[in-house]
Amino acid sequence: MVCRNGNERSSEEVRPRAGLAGDLEVLKLVGFGERSRELNFRRVTKKGARKMSEPSKEELLARIAELEKQAGSRKKGSLEFRVGEKGGVSVYGLGRFPVTLYYEQWIRLLDIAGELREFLEANKSKLKLKTAE
């Protein structure tokens, strides 16, 4: 088999894990993509397998409306708190990644919040500040 980039590759089937009921398709490895080094797979339906019904346009529009409603309920810039699997408290919304600390760490930080605020104000000229947009 010749791939898009001209290299010859043999096809390999990637079978679904054993024990999963209702798997109707397998993925067939067809090679590497030209620009990205990701593997390309093609879905191959097994003979005699029933095809899953495609969702109707109305169902898809209802799902989109539901997702938009969920996304719109959270204000941009708002902070959200969650307890993680290991018992840490994460704050989402400060930046790209959440800030996660354990209970004792949060208490220590809150105890010196006044000092932290004073430090920030004293060093404001040295800090990079985002402009209000």
Q: Indicate whether 1 pLDDT > 70.
A: no
Q: Indicate whether 113 pLDDT > 70.
A: yes
| pLDDT average, residue stretch 66-77 | 74
Cα gap 119→122, rounded to integer Å = 5
pTM of this structure: 0.45
Work out the pLDDT band at 105, boundaries 50, 70, 90: very high
pLDDT of residue 19: 47
Q: Is the dihedral of CA 4, 32, 44, 52 positive or negative?
A: negative
15-70 pLDDT per residue, tens: 545 444 454 555 555 555 555 555 555 555 566 556 667 888 888 898 888 888 87
| pLDDT average, residue stretch 92-115 | 95
Query: Mean of the per-residue pLDDT values for the chain?
Result: 75
3-state percent helix, strand, coil for the chain, nearest multiple of 5: 30, 25, 45
Strands across the sheet containing 89-92? 80-83, 89-92, 99-101
